[in-house]
Structure 1
């Protein structure tokens, strides 16, 4: 910050919750905080939202399903809402369109204000409490002072935490510290490196490439453990049309302070590799031309902010379920060597996990700064556990948990740590908002549906209608946890819930968006080709809901062209009823109807 600038020149903005960092974790944290009643601001230092999933970097949003290798494991909640919205508008997988979807979700969210192109400059902390953040918006030349009750660091690099004096780690722990099988013998400051991608296009005719004078000469020996031909496997995920994740450097340097130097080196290697592919042997790229090169490197690892618990290798390998679990992961421990492209061996070590694991709430708030929380790749974990928790869908569900917890803390007037004393309240709120927490079931006493009698027009064996109120809103292993009708008849299928006469103000429906299939945007043609285009066929499309009192219909509402898994129907005036009937007329392609949960409030 300019030390000569008078702080009186700063525009003061006051909020309940201040979220810094607009990647997928920050987006989900800010939206969750705002939706739960907290006056929230999201501060992003780039021109677009999305972080590594933005048009600047174009990385696909991986998660616990591990590219469809683990059934029914895709993350739900706000991240699912974003991806389904993107699906409805973005058939060509344009990352710029996803930028717009993210911007719209944040910009038009009640209780939430957005500042793009705004860099935090200084964090003021007193007695282990953050008091304010000074920031500068490059596009308007305005200086801001942001004040809040709770601050959430979603910067990836832990910038806010570092400036606030939070306890952080950077690098690899020694094997002996946590008894982690694959950790190095000695601790060091090494991290995973940064990557830049490219996009190439088949022009339909041979094209030449002239190597820039500053690009490196790359040999086949250097690429022997790096798949780089036109034909790649699904595991490698990329080809000459969409770049290579293994073009990685910087892990033996300081990926933050040496970031500009690392970027320049990556460019020299990228153009050298492209020269090799085009001009040194047959790599199936004769007709290809470069059409995009990433200038903002995708960063894997930097600081990790310490919480009351440090997630470790054994927690993931043992699929541990924590009592204070608020999120989950399942991506393999994907351990890239610090040397990156300069490492002569395999580009990564995939340490597979037998099942999903949970992440405890204690990993999401600072150990020593009382009003600081964190979400994203900077949460409290060892380097080994970080290999899995760093992927964006896992970061996103953690972001929603943190934003929800922050809003609860504001409402209660307490610090984040104290929310852990009543963790079930936070867990139940997350379940209501369609987050999945393994082994945690709906126990919401305000949910009228839990005590209803459920009937339906038809059902398949093992998919009985009463499963919509069993407390679990997705398929888990051999538990279906949903009602599935027989083939939709000409008059449609129906599901009825009957209960004692009550005033109803909200209905929440959770449909089937096929959590075993990927719907994420991707630069990779291989990944795109594995997906079914369009809205998931299993989703309910057109339906109506009818309210009855003493066998008489008192209210009804139609919904057409639905493309979301979760539908929340709220009513300005409560409706007195003793029965509701959901009539489904069509899906997006399936011949039967699947509903995972109905809640009534």
Structure 2
């Protein structure tokens, strides 16, 4: 047994776990990420290939895309992966984790046991299948990002499975009676147009389906205008297992899904004209994408009413906005519409209390296993929302380590946690930058030009995205040949060591890799044209240029520039020389430390 000691241990390397581990390490905690698969990303990995959706609801809710670490990852992937290859996305995720200072990655490592004493997790044991090494991990704080709540369950934490009754929380859309039924699992597939007719022979073990079996489920090339129903990528509605145990019966559910996938493809190819004569299967998943299993109970359970009302919690650390996307437990066998979309008028926030286990003092959770009712789960389960929560949890874990307190001990420091998250380019509706260390908030602001809705002063108004029709952004007039500039001025020189910039990466669009041809067509190829590409920082003391930094080919929304040594200056000029396509310079926020 190999002993490994860390300050924070994250179990589960889906998108929530990746963001939690990176955030924890960046805030100074010695962190381990343990993942039982060979690749990171969970449902977004090449093993499953589900695209990452969130509060912007496929671009139908403007300015709502999640930022922070997730945005950093997706923009980097956008630069290097124009073909939407999920294998390349695997590599981008691996690189972000593997080369993050302070973070150790353990792939192919299955947690095999949990040691608990006096209401705290002392250690977890794990076996790395590729090396046959057995590890014992100790830490001050453990984070369950397993999706299934496996760490919490083995530690004896309170968990829920299934659907609450309508009366338990007063949720009008909940079933009349409680049960243990859940949403099911899905196997996706990918097909390619070969340019010539290609036959398909159904395996003897696959099911056979008629048109009536696929009612309410678009499945032909002629239905390509219907969202996500094209024949080259499908289908989320090939879903089973909600009437069983999606954990204990996982292998049997997977086998039944394989029989169903190949049966659906046989129907598309051989039972009527579906416009698929030239299509051949290129890939069929073997690891089901799982929607629902255990939920770990915290001091607050997020509810249907919180989502529908767009509630803003005082201890909010993340947000959601995907509809309550409810699937019948029967899944593919259900004879009606395969899902019910309960749309939300606005985004809602998720309180810190949903991310801390109520009965294990040093256990946090992020992802689809957080403290929520089944109805609220229908919205919070998507990976954009899970990633935002992951970053919040990783940041909180590192802060708790620094304060030498359990996660629950941060309830009196929520504002400090919120300000850290905003500083790292997370968004919390209703919370603005009030960082007392940010010198930019005390500066006078000027610019070479500005459009009517793009006043330069907005770069220090505390909100780093467009909200409620207010741009919150400096927007110049068309870029001059010499560029456009924004300037911060102070009455006296001050010591400057860092400059933070948040550019516009068009948070109304989508930039994630996807199997769906329809979704790809909705995306603008390449990096967002609004994003600033070439710029220069200049620090002045009077008429003397004290420091200068030029950046070419920027591809990120959030940039932190740390000076080699503190520099005294009374003026900071940001000169924008070019964008990735837009005619004007756009800058949401400037911070100076």
TM-score (norm 1): 0.98
- For the pair 1:117 / 2:108, whether they are aligned, the reply is yes
Tell me which residue corresponds to 1:7.
none
Q: 1:235 to 1:281 in 2, by over 3 A?
A: closer
Q: Does 1:596 align with 2:575?
A: no
SS across alignment from 1:485: strand
Preserved contact between residue 513 and residue 539 of structure 1 (Cα < 8 Å): yes
Q: Distance in 2 between matches of 1:81 and 1:356?
A: 22
Structure 2 residue corresponding to 1:563, chosen from 555, 558, 574: 555
Partner of 1:317 in structure 2?
308
RMSD: 0.7
Q: How does 1:94-113 map to 2 (within 5 A)?
A: 94-113=85-104
Secondary structure class of the residue paired with 2:477 = coil
Q: Is the 8 A contact 1:249 1:262 kept in 2?
A: yes
Select which of 252, 274, 287 maps to 1:261.
252
Distance 2:527 2:578 in 1: 13
The 8 Å contact of residues 182 and 243 in structure 2, kept in 1 or not, is answered as: yes
Cα distance between partner residues in 2 of 1:238 and 1:115: 37
Which residue of the partner structure matches residue 214 of structure 1? 205
Correspondence for 2:49: 58
What's the counterpart of residue 234 of structure 2? 243
1:33 to 1, 11, 24: 24
CA offset at residue 146 of structure 1?
A: 0.4
Shift of residue 572, structure 1, vs aligned partner: 2.9
- Distance change (3 Å), C-alpha of 1:234 and 1:571: farther
Contact 1:238 1:525 in 2 (8 A): no
Does the alignment pair 1:157 with 2:148?
A: yes
Number of the residue aligned with 1:332 = 323
Match of 2:531 among 532, 539, 546: 539
SS at match of 1:263: helix
The aligned counterpart of 1:180 is 171
- Residue 567 of structure 2 corresponds to 575
Cα deviation, residue 234, structure 1: 5.3
Aligned match for 1:22, one of 13, 29, 32:
13
Which of 514, 528, 541 is 2:506 aligned to? 514
Indicate if the aligned counterparts of 2:17 and 2:366 stay in contact, CA closer than 8 A. Answer: yes
1:495-549: CA deviation from partner (whole Å, max 9, x where unpaired): 0001131111100000000001111110111100110000000010011110001
Kindly indicate whether the alpha-carbon contact (under 8 Å) linking 2:16 and 2:387 is maintained by their aligned counterparts in 1: yes
The CA deviation string for residues 134-179 of structure 1, in whole angstroms up to 9 with x for no partner, is 0000000000000000000000000000000000001000110001
Please report the TM-score for the alignment, with normalisation by the length of structure 2. Answer: 0.99
CA offset at residue 421 of structure 1? 1.3
Question: What is the deviation of 1:232?
Answer: 2.9
Superposed structure 1 runs of 4+ greater than 4 Å apart: none
Partner of 1:382: 373
Q: Distance in 2 between matches of 1:487 and 1:183?
A: 52
* Contact 1:234 1:527 survives alignment (8 Å): no
Answering whether residue 586 of structure 2 is matched by residue 586 of structure 1, we say no
Unaligned runs of 5+ in 1: 1-9
Which residue does the alignment assign to 1:140?
A: 131
1:131 to 104, 112, 122: 122
CA deviation vs aligned residue, 1:2-27 (integer Å, no higher than 9, x gap): xxxxxxxx100000000000000000
Structure 2: which 5+ runs fail to align?
Answer: none
CA shift for structure 1 position 287: 0.6
CA apart distance, 1:483: 0.4
Paired with 1:297 and 1:379, the residues of 2 have a C-alpha distance of: 21
Shift of 1:233: 5.1
Map of 2:541 onto structure 1 = 549
Q: Is the 8 A contact 1:227 1:236 kept in 2?
A: no
Residues 179-201 of structure 1: per-residue CA shift (max 9 Å, x gap): 11111111100000000011111
C-alpha separation in 1, matches of 2:355 and 2:564: 36
Alpha-carbon distance in 2 for matches of 1:234, 1:130: 51
Confirm or deny: 8 A CA contact 2:218 2:226 kept in the other structure.
no
Q: Give 1:236 deviation, angstroms.
A: 3.1
**Contact between 2:228 and 2:234, CA under 8 Å: does it hold in 1?**
no
Q: Distance in 1 between the 2:25 and 2:208 partners?
A: 52
- Equivalent pairs counted in the alignment come to 592
Aligned with 2:168: secondary structure?
helix
